[in-house]
Amino acid sequence: MIEGCRKISFRGHKDFRGNLVFVEGGSDIPFNISRVYYIYDVPYGASRAGHAHKELDSILIPLSGAFDVILDNGDVRERIEMRSPNEGLFIPRMIWRELENFTSGAVCLALASDPYDEEDYFREYQDFLNASGK
């Protein structure tokens, strides 16, 4: 996997009533959670994201269904399948990400280290490459 990125398994509890998974900022993940958002009802064939962050770190979790995350550090590009709701993908700052291949009913939960700030985004791939020194 691209350096700095990694899958994180979350603790949970399973019994006859179902499954419960919990995530605690600063212990289960390497930052305190400042923002939470989710993506759902993505039409077949559509993609999301297509950006990188200057400072923000994030974790993506497939709460329902599945999707793929394409990670790119300017040198290496790889596809990560996200299929399990008890596993998240940590994506540090300065990694380009794209989300695609959403299954029907998929929900992607995102945990972010910082509040929303448009100035923190690279929305153009070439700008990301230039800032990365690539």
Q: Which residues are catalytic?
A: 51
Q: Tell me the chain's radius of gyration from C-alpha atoms.
A: 15
Residues 6+ apart with CB under 8 A from 83: 62, 66
CA torsion sign for 93, 116, 80, 31 is positive
